[in-house]
């Protein structure tokens, strides 16, 4: 069996181990990896092209695989209560996700009402090629138009926009429109695209009409940007720990005390819809 067949067989037997896929960095590998994430894999690593010898392979596995294993089985943490907050209705929704994000994004977006009255802009930590495959797969599964941002353009309401792998995505305001801006700046929190970059730009462009959603993921990317949105009067939502594959990113904003609601993705979608005034 290949990887996808193995995942299907595990599910048919009622087994749910934490599966990490090893993927080639090709269009075919990207498509297969995104499919595996929708079928139950928790995370993935991409095979490098330039390893020579077993020592290099072991070193690479140690650096790339072990942190993901540790993240999937964290030590017991402490809970933090979210802070209630009032804010203006949204003009744009920004979403950050990492490990476990594709499945959480699908659950969030398939529950989000359609047509949706504001743009939804997403940073999912993935390399180039993988983000295009993710956008294509989501477009087939959710009731919204989903596309990878590949040029600087108007971010129209009713669509979902995904940051391309290895490029930062920012939002800029031009009159009544929100527009995308792509650039190749330095990584932040070891990431490009970075959730912090997107969230900071949303704070500048939308102020109190920005709504941020932090979904499952390793690390704390998005926390500083979420603080900026909160300081401008915007609203932050976070995925809860039981439904998260890794409660790193959402946990960091919850502990910061800036979160309106902490819920599974489907319930977050209902909260966000109410926030933007969708009846």
Q: pLDDT tens for residues 117-135?
A: 999 999 999 999 999 999 9
Q: What angle, rounded to 10 degrees, do the helices at 130-141 and 27-38 form?
A: 50
Superfamily of domain 92-275: Methylesterase CheB, C-terminal domain (3.40.50.180)
Residue 168 in contact with residue 125, Cβ under 8 Å? no
Burial (CB < 10 A; 0-12, 13-18, 19+), residue 67, is middle
Q: Is 63 helix (H, G, I), strand (E, B) or coil?
A: helix
Who contacts 262 (Cβ-Cβ below 8 Å, separation ≥6)? 82, 237, 238, 239, 240, 250, 254
- DSSP for 223-244? HHHHHHHHHTT-EEEEE-TTT-
Structure tokens given for 40: 């139950």
Distance from C-alpha of 232 to C-alpha of 212, rounded to nearest angstrom: 12
DSSP H or E stretch at residue 161: strand 159-162
Give per-residue pLDDT as tens, 93-126. Answer: 999 999 999 999 999 999 999 999 999 999 999 9
DSSP 3-state assignment of 80? Answer: coil
H or E stretch at 182: strand 177-183
Q: Which residue is it, tokens 């489907």?
A: 266
* C-alpha span between 24 and 183 (Å, rounded): 25
Place of tokens 């699908």: 106
pLDDT of residue 76: 53
Catalytically active residues are: 98, 125, 221
pLDDT at 80: 52
Please state the φ and ψ torsions of residue 93, each to the nearest 5 degrees.
-115, 125
Residue spans of the domains in the chain: they are 3-72, 92-275
Residues of the chain with pLDDT under 50: 77-79, 81-88
């Amino acid at each position: 069996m290949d990887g996808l067949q193995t995942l299907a067989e595990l599910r048919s037997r009622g087994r749910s181990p934490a599966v990490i896929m090893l993927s080639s960095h090709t269009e075919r590998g990207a498509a297969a990896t995104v499919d595996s994430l929708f079928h139950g894999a928790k995370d993935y690593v991409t095979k490098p092209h330039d390893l020579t010898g077993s020592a290099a392979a072991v070193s690479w596995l140690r650096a790339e695989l072990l942190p993901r294993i540790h993240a999937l089985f964290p030590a017991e943490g402490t809970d933090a209560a979210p802070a209630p907050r009032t804010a203006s209705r949204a003009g744009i929704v920004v979403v950050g996700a990492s490990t476990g994000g594709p499945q959480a994004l699908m659950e969030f977006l398939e529950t989000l009402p359609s047509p949706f009255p504001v743009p939804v802009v997403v940073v999912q930590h993935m390399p180039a090629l993988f983000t295009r495959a993710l956008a294509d797969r989501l477009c087939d599964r959710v009731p919204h138009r989903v596309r990878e941002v590949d040029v600087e353009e108007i971010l129209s309401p009713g669509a979902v926009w995904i940051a391309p792998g290895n490029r930062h995505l920012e939002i800029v305001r031009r009159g009544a429109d929100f527009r995308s801006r792509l650039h190749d700046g330095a990584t932040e929190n070891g990431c490009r695209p970075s959730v912090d970059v997107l969230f900071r730009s949303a704070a500048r462009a939308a102020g109190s009409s920005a709504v941020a959603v932090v979904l499952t993921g390793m690390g704390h990317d998005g926390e500083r940007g979420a603080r900026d949105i909160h300081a401008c009067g915007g609203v932050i939502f976070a995925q809860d720990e039981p439904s998260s594959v890794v409660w790193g990113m959402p946990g960091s904003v919850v502990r910061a005390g800036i979160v309106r609601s902490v819920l599974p993705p489907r319930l977050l979608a209902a909260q966000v819809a109410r926030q933007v005034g969708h009846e």
